[in-house]
Structure 1
């Protein structure tokens, strides 16, 4: 009995020992070959045991087996599997370096098949990826699209310089022709394709990663991606538990504060993420004060068997900002600066009123977006992804209407010696207490019906005599008004992903959207006037309306409140219905990946207008004008070996016209010249990947035929009064071809270099036709019916056709890094209106001076906390370090050898009169880029 007990005790002892030694810890360090990778995911293969690396890239895992494998994954890097054996209770796998896949977003981040993310060495498109860390670190007080400045074939400007007023071009196509997708949802305005970055200012706070897919892109939808697709993937609720607080400030009294927290995925499958931020400042340009908020709330639930995953996300960025909307001439910037150093900050829209700075130009908007995502893993080969989304935008852009003796609000008669607008003088005229000089004398205002009456009249009509063709009156005034552009937008995307075999995967789905846009004008400020007279409602003519109600330019937080306004000038509702279907077949085996893709959509356009038309007029509410469009794409990628790959793709788009092309000039008559735009794209690329050097080269050719363009009014003269006409161009064709290079290298463990180069040849092909119409009744202008405009070989303007950048970062001490980047832009041409190209011997597009900008930054991360698992991060950015003065864009096309007077050649040219700035005629209306700016951010991550 005693011997048996000893055997039992001995056996139990060995069981305990073997159990102890079969359990242990797996440790190691994860790097990218040069430095640690904090936040990398480490999981024991075949189990739920997982952890994340700390701020030094170190990790510890508890293993219940003596041998096994760990799988390491990190956003933008190839997954790596490493074997381990526990000896003595611990297995140290040492330092593991991951290989960068800079153009790939891990499936850990993107779970839904409605988000078309391009994968490196697999998806055959030209793509660049910017990760959240880079956005947080380098964006600072720049506009969100400016983080893409060092991407090939991308040109970004701040335009007038107001908060969120930046614009972006890809391969020479403006952002109306670039698809912007957020978590798979299209966000381009359904009426005109526009993207207003001020409405999305908060995206920089919540973006996990952003991809720029140049060309036709990988989206399965029938999107307006003529130039490319910007794919933005936001945070999800099931991120790792933790959060951050940050505060930043910069020049222009810019200030921002932000806080966020993520619960991580709880044991019951629930998760939540919240982010709040507030920003404000005076702006770099005088009179561009702004204030914006940002909120992001994500709630998630995932079943334990990973069959279902639900995500509810709500985000919005209510904001207001004053603007610089008027592009001044170079001579004006010089007038308020000097001939050699023009005052690039000059703002002709701002001034003072009642002792405080005042700007009649203001934007205020709130566009929250809510989405509900459901990802359902039906079985091992079938997955269903769905997203329902809604957006209700509320807001407007404020400007001025009316005039005083033919003078608008920023005419010279209202400018102070420093160039600012004397709004006090306008107010004094409006209330009858002051005078204004026009038509040869100081004049005072007269009343209409016993009241100082404002209206849309400028106080000048074209019914005078030969000596002076205009008649002036003393009854008109200037009013601040807002053009409301609100909308209700609802949509759904459903995609079924089916693995037909080990090599074939089929996607097919539907895309449905409905959009209602509300467009009207309201009075904000009578500026001393007694009433506003409006005579634009057809059913109330000729008596019109006498209005005294005004509406403040405040952000509307409650977007469900449909307010009742006294509307003036115009009132129309645009409705767009979109029904689409798409499919994609993908083949993947060994080193070859290929796809064939197709999409079809029907867009219906309906217009309602109770101002222009009587209620009994059939045009007061049109039927839907339905137009069919779609696309077809195909491509293939072949990995020659682990380092080299090549790809090709081709596609064709038949794109429906925008709403204002269907119903031009705010009228309800369908355009008789409607035709779909045709876009054909070809692309080829080569990629090289190694541990120390990555590079990609792309060649592309995009043809854009039958482009519809609504142009400016005809120049005054020949019996045509200024601003009484509009133009339409048909048969405009463009060809955009080019080459792109992007590369990065780890020179040493601490020294990294990246570079970019792109060269484009973007030209109009063949001639086009112009038709001109009078704005009042859409009747044709004599001599401008199918008139020829000579556009062949004219350069496409508004974006630099050659760009290059070279950047480097160096870790001078542990977690202390300095970085710098030089960005160069050349072959930048002025924006142009084809209406001026009525002669075959035209001079083409004006080329602006090239320029280069140098940016620099400094980062320091200090580890804190008992386990050094928290950090305090310091970041300083300096943009345009050497304060370079440069022209970012020109809205006119005046050459140095053009005459300064169109009616008197004897006065000579701009060159002969020494009216040039760096070779550019000083009559050109331009926006200069920003000079030196800086910002500092302090962030605590926990």
Structure 2
């Protein structure tokens, strides 16, 4: 027995000695390739085990391995992982990680709700802009300008701050879905986007992903053209902060400061950012200013749960530019605007010229996220969000001589918006995954007109049934301060005029996705079903004094389905196909067609729009070159345009139209429209091909390019049908022969090349060139040019190209990468190209007409900005 015990003791000792002898000590330093900075907090893991460590503050690490030989895997948020072999004790020296275009490691909070492309193995047509590029390129631009170097994207800058427009595969913003951390942010009323409401989103964006076409979102959203997913900062893994100041053309200045605690030992993490901007605007008399704030509070009580509360907002005001014909802009210059010269604003800081209009808005957004890992295979992600929008467009009203403004009329658009998105994900087996969830949105919109500011008068007369007839407007609300609009809103119906109504839009949907994948093949099926209800509450034109009036409730069902598959030919070559069908409910603006129309429903707005999409793609993944090739074919069918016609009232003017004098008296007569016009059936077909190429000829040089060729046109002719308020057809006629007419406002051919080169350590030059062609005017149905005997199609606008240039230098303050000064210079439209971005009209040039590059100068156009610039300095600590 004693010998047996000795034998066992000796065997255990030898086994433990062998284990000890088999261990190795691995040392190294983790850095990043871009600026050669050190990476604290990098993860170092012995492959095939749970044995690991993290790098110290100076990027160094020491790992005791469990085996004498093997591999270690090094990873860091936002960078590609690196696998390094070892054999015995080793000092691996400096190990550098490449910046990673994947979003997978960036998204920490709400990852089950934020539908980025990496969440599904079956590919889509997608381009991703990372936080570093956003920081460098943003300057004094809106988000559409940052995305202009991606395929099938057209950015129109607009006249004032925040007035830019984005077109994706030829579809405007109301038909492109915009998401903020998985939350839909298009207006539920009409699908529109206003970038002035989101002027600070790029300051807090971790990444922006453009999903062209069907996209990967499981929600029922307006993604006819595609989906733009904005992912903001949440929890940072490391402690640190930054301070940045930027100056630019036309007296632009912007200052931001941020700080993050990182994830502390107690599991809490705090991040915050404050910013302020102001400038005169590129176009005359379009000055503006605003702030940005961001707060993120995260808590990780254990490895299975992460909570995060986020609050962000961008209160701002800016003066707007008018819209002018090409002749005026060529004569006066592209900075021309027609503000009232020499008229000061008594209640604001505005001096010199009083603008035609001012946008004042504040839209704080808050959400609470919870990521719960139920097991190794299952998780639940939930986001509860809310938004309180308060704002107004203040436009000047004039006296009888039409030369001096009397007061600023506010067209107010307020809302309370709440929502919940929850998604359960589980791996059914090694190859099959399932997720499903719910999407609930509750929206209350408040719309009215009031006096924003008295300029040369002290009161204004008005008329309202709700207020008992004639009454006086004696109070003004807010000037240009968005904080006043937020905390001192006009809740008094007796100080409203013109229109005064509310709307309740409630949405409930369910969604799900099933995906199969193995090493070579993947396929998915995705679907959603929803119900959307609308109720409109009228105040100004209510039938009885002092009593509001509700419309009948309108409820519309909708659904979408998507499916697709991909085949991995090998590690470098992937092909895929996707298809989808949407039945999209009409917008609220389709159901109730005019602000002053009371609660009368449009009898023609009972048809869902049908969207059918087909896509195919090929991806090549190489060490020095990669490429994406995408083909698409989208049919937007049963699209209907509505309009309403008034009969004449006792005063000889159309019913529901304000009397055109200094007195904005309102005589609604019977308050009803007598006729509705429907243009149908309207079908658009968008098809095209897109190619992206990414190359790295050598370590310090990146050269990327893209080409997109589209063919976007109307299919079939349309007929205008007039019906009465009960839906009875009055007349049918006025056919527009638009079959084959090109769809305008966005270039159908775009191409570009961008490159960056690190000529010295941490000193980089970059430039991008973009070309736009096959750009057409906006087709107006029923216009003379679309009559059968003279179908000349839409006017074609001149092609143009622009060149942007940038330069940056990062000065390390010590050996830690996070202590640095970064300098940046941007020059946009370097060669000061004069070009027409788009045309709202479609006036063909006749013999003898005055033209510019073949375009009739009577057309109302938008000219692009000339040369602009900005210089910034950023201190990171």
Q: Look up the match of 2:787.
A: 839
> Could you say which residue in structure 1 is the equivalent of 2:477?
551
Q: Do the aligned partners of residues 891 and 80 (structure 1) sit closer, same or farther apart at CA in structure 2, a change above 3 Å counting?
A: same
Q: CA deviation at 1:713?
A: 8.7
Q: Deviations over 1:355-400 (max 9, x none)?
A: 6232130001110110000011111111111010000000111113
Shift of residue 866, structure 1, vs aligned partner: 5.4
Q: Normalization by structure 2: what TM-score?
A: 0.88
**Deviates further, 117-126 or 494-503:** 117-126
SS at match of 1:173: coil
Secondary structure in structure 2 of the residue aligned to 1:119: helix
What's the counterpart of residue 146 of structure 2? Answer: 147
In 2, Cα distance between equivalents of 1:312 and 1:803: 40
Instruction: Identify the residue that residue 72 of structure 1 maps to in structure 2.
Output: 74
Secondary structure of 2:270's counterpart equals strand
1:41 aligns with 42
Measure the CA separation in 2 of the matches of 1:688 and 1:121: 18
Query: 2:298 maps to what in 1?
Result: 300
Contact 2:734 2:782 in 1 (8 A): no
Residue 788 of structure 1, CA deviation: 2.1
Classify the secondary structure of the residue corresponding to 1:335. helix
Deviation, 1:204, is 0.9
Give the C-alpha shift of residue 556 in structure 1.
Answer: 2.7
Q: Show the 5 A alignment for 1:214-225.
A: 214-225=212-223
State which of 170, 175, 178 in structure 1 corresponds to 2:176: 178
Give 2:448's aligned residue: 520
Q: In structure 2, the residue corresponding to 1:556 is in which secondary structure? A: helix
Are the aligned partners of 1:713 and 1:723 in contact in 2 as well (CA < 8 Å)?
A: no
Aligned equivalents of 2:653 and 2:690: distance in 1? 46
Of stretches 186-195 and 232-241 in structure 1, the one that deviates more from structure 2 is: 232-241
2:357 aligned residue: 361
Aligned counterpart, 1:564: 491
Are 1:526 and 1:532, in contact at CA under 8 Å, matched by a contact in 2? no
Deviation at 1:44, TM superposition (A): 2.2
Secondary structure (helix, strand or coil) at the match of 1:804 reads strand
Aligned to 1:764: 714
1:919 and 1:784 map into 2 onto residues whose CA distance is 38
CA change 1:180–1:296 in 2 (3 A) is same
Partners of 1:782 and 1:584 lie apart in 2 by 43
Alignment map for 1:328-407 (pairs within 5 Å): 328-336=324-332, 343-349=333-339, 351-354=341-344, 356-401=352-397, 404=400, 407=402
The reply on whether 1:532 has 2:534 as its aligned counterpart is no
Asked whether the 8 Å contact 2:465–2:545 carries over to 1, the reply is no
Task: After TM superposition, give the deviation of residue 351 of structure 1 in Å.
Answer: 2.9
Q: Distance in 2 between matches of 1:830 and 1:779?
A: 36
Moved more, 726-735 or 490-499: 726-735
Instruction: State the distance in 2 between where 1:746 and 1:583 align.
Output: 39
Tell me whether 1:804 sits opposite 2:736 in the alignment. Answer: no
Distance 2:256 2:427 in 1: 43
Name the structure 1 match of 2:186: 188
Pairwise CA distance, 1:509: 0.5
8 A Cα contact 2:267 2:301, kept in partner: yes
Equivalent residue number for residue 615 of structure 1 = 544
Once the two structures are superposed, the pairs formed by residues 7-18 of structure 1 within 5 Å of their partners are none
- CA RMSD for the aligned pairs? 3.1
Instruction: Describe the shift of the 1:331–1:307 C-alpha distance in structure 2 as closer, same or farther (beyond 3 A).
Output: same
CA distance in 1: counterparts of 2:518 and 2:20, whole angstroms:
43
Structure 1 contact 366–557 (Cα < 8 Å) conserved:
no
- Separation in 2, partners of 1:237, 1:302: 10
Contact 1:892 1:925 in 2 (8 A): yes
1:726 and 1:530 mapped to 2: Cα distance?
39
Equivalent in the alignment of 1:236: 234
How far does residue 59 in structure 1 lie from its aligned partner after superposition? 3.3
Instruction: Tell me how far 1:298 sits from its aligned partner.
Output: 0.5
Go from structure 1 to structure 2 and tell me whether the alpha carbon gap of 1:50 and 1:941 turns closer, same or farther (over 3 Å shift). farther
Structure-2 residue corresponding to 1:128: 127
User: 1:515-570, CA deviations, whole angstroms, 9 ceiling, x for partnerless residues?
Assistant: 000000011234323431112x22456x4112222223321368466543410100
**1:82 and 2:84 are equivalent in the alignment:** yes
1:616 CA displacement? 8.2
For residues 53 and 262 of structure 1, the distance between their equivalents in structure 2, rounded to whole angstroms, comes to: 18
Answer yes or no: is the 8 Å Cα contact 2:261–2:271 preserved in 1.
yes
1:940 is aligned to 875
Instruction: Show CA shifts across 1:821-856 (max 9, x none).
Output: 110111111123213166123321111111000110
Q: Is 2:508 aligned against 1:508?
A: no
Contact 1:644 1:689 in 2 (8 A): yes
> For residue 635 of structure 2, what is the aligned residue in structure 1?
703
Distance 1:97 1:150, change over 3 A: same
- Tell me if structure 2 keeps the 8 A contact 1:84–1:93: no
Any idea what SS the aligned residue of 2:341 has? Answer: strand
Cα pair 1:30 1:40 within 8 Å, conserved: no
Give the drift of 1:79. Answer: 3.3
- Give 1:611 shift: 1.2
* CA displacement at 1:723 relative to structure 2: 12
How far apart, in 1, do the equivalents of 2:323 and 2:209 lie?
Answer: 32
The residue number in structure 1 matching 2:828 is 879
Report the Cα offset of residue 23 of structure 1. 7.6
Compared CA separation, residues 59 and 302, structure 1 to 2 (3 A): same
Q: How does 1:47-62 map to 2 (within 5 A)?
A: 49-51=52-54, 59-62=59-62
CA contact (8 A) 1:711 1:833 kept: no
Cα distance in 2, alignment partners of residues 259 and 38 from structure 1: 22
CA distance in 1, matches of 2:807, 2:773: 28
Q: Distance in 2 between the 1:250 and 1:929 partners?
A: 17
Secondary structure of the residue aligned to 2:748 is strand
* SS at structure 1 position matched to 2:264: coil
Within-5 A mapping of 1:335-734:
335-336=331-332, 343-349=333-339, 351-354=341-344, 356-401=352-397, 404=400, 407=402, 414=403, 426=404, 478-535=406-463, 537-539=464-466, 543-553=469-479, 554-556=481-483, 559=486, 563-565=490-492, 566-615=495-544, 620-666=549-595, 667=597, 668-673=599-604, 674-710=606-642, 728-734=678-684
- Secondary structure at the aligned position of 1:835 is classed as coil
- Matches for 1:798-877 after TM superposition, within 5 Å: 798-836=745-783, 839-840=787-788, 841-865=790-814, 867=816, 869-877=818-826
- What is the SS of the residue equivalent to 2:524? strand
Map of 2:312 onto structure 1: 315
Report SS of the residue matched to 1:753. strand
Match of 2:703 in 1: 753
CA contact (8 A) 2:39 2:817 kept: no
Where does the alignment leave 5 or more consecutive residues of structure 1 unmatched? 1-11, 337-342, 408-413, 415-425, 428-477, 898-908
Give the distance between the partners of 1:864 and 1:734, measured in 2 at CA.
Answer: 57
Please list every run of 5 or more consecutive structure 2 residues that lacks an aligned counterpart in the other structure: 1-12, 345-350, 658-674
Q: What is the SS of the residue equivalent to 1:333?
A: helix
Q: Which stretch shifts more, 703-712 or 751-760? A: 703-712
Is residue 514–residue 577 contact of structure 1 (8 Å, CA) maintained in 2?
A: yes
2:326, 2:416 → 1: CA distance?
A: 41
Following superposition, the deviation at residue 782 of structure 1 comes to 11
What does residue 843 of structure 2 align with?
A: 894
Matches of 2:150 and 2:593, distance apart in 1 = 36
- The question of 1:27 aligning with 2:28 is answered yes
Aligned residue-pair number = 824
1 CA distance for matches of 2:796 and 2:218? Answer: 37
Deviation of the 1:819 alpha carbon: 1.0
Cα deviation, residue 30, structure 1: 5.1
CA 191–261 in structure 1, closer or farther in 2 if over 3 Å, else same: same
The offset of 1:612, in angstroms, is 1.7
1:138 maps to what in 2? 137
